[in-house]
Amino acid sequence: MITDPQKRIYNYYLRAFRINNGNPFRPKKKFDDLKDDKKNQLIKLEKFFIKFPHLLNADFFDAPYKLYSDDKKYYGLDFYAGNKGLSTCINYYKFLQQTNPDNQLDYIKNSLKFIANFCIEKNISVSSYTSFRSVAQNDCLKHLKEHSISWYCVFDIPKFRDLLFDLPKDEFELYFGEIDLSSMEQQLASSTEAKRILKEGIKKITTFVQKKLKY
């Protein structure tokens, strides 16, 4: 029996293979023909994504095709279900940090969805997102560190930029490593689509979250 999350995982995996080899993709609807080894890998992946739900997106499965320059054009479910899959995904997000924001539009859109869902879950407004703490540290900093959200969100989410620029340099580097925020801000300012998507997206999620808040 294939669960709905497993079907979603398989279609992300199938999409990555098809699209990154220049072929059209059509979601698979019937799963009766899946072999036992693939079913076992899907079970393993489902458990992984229950633990790290923010990583269940197209970027995770696109990562090896985008990051590696070798001739390999196929990465199986066993690759994604292993440690190499996770490390490749994390390295891909680190790579995205250094690229033009217009090259990561899906990541930015998914980041805004993540923030909206988080605010609804915690019953807070988007304007309160950067000050919210589950424990000692602001949750938004944890989201950045875990690559739940794109760094480019920093410059349009209320008070996010100031929070990071006000961190002591040694504390910032200990938490995030060496990241040139000023350079990233300039890249976003000179972008074409990313800047627009962020501004429009933040307005949308702000209104959407406000309607969902429980008082």
49 and 107, same domain (yes or no): no
Average pLDDT over residues 189-194: 92
| Residue 205 to residues 35, 117, 119, Cα–Cα distance (Å) | 41, 9, 10
pLDDT at 215 over 80: no
- pLDDT 10s digits, 99-141: 889 988 988 998 999 999 999 999 999 999 999 998 888 999 9
82 and 112, same domain (yes or no): no
160 and 180, same domain (yes or no): yes
Question: Structural domain tally of the chain?
Answer: 2
69 and 43, same domain (yes or no): yes
* Distance, first Cα to last Cα, the chain: 41
If one counts every other C-beta atom within 10 angstroms of the C-beta of residue 213, the result is 11
Which of 70, 97, 124 corresponds to the end of one domain?
97
Q: Which amino acid is present at 30? A: K
Which of 43, 78, 97 corresponds to the end of one domain?
97
Query: What residue numbers bound the domain in which 75 lies?
Result: 4-97
Which residues, 6 or more positions from 133, have their beta carbon under 8 angstroms from its beta carbon?
139
143 and 88, same domain (yes or no): no
Global pTM exceeds 0.85: no
105 and 59, same domain (yes or no): no
SS3 133: strand
pLDDT reported for residue 71? 66
Cα separation, 64 vs 92, in Å, equals 8
Q: What is the Cβ-side half-sphere exposure of residue 110, based on CA atoms within 13 angstroms?
A: 18
pLDDT reported for residue 190? 92
Higher pLDDT: 46 or 94? It is: 46
SS3 62: helix
80 and 132, same domain (yes or no): no
Which of 49, 66, 97 corresponds to the end of one domain?
97
pLDDT reported for residue 55? 83
Which residues, 6 or more positions from 120, have their beta carbon under 8 angstroms from its beta carbon?
209, 212, 213
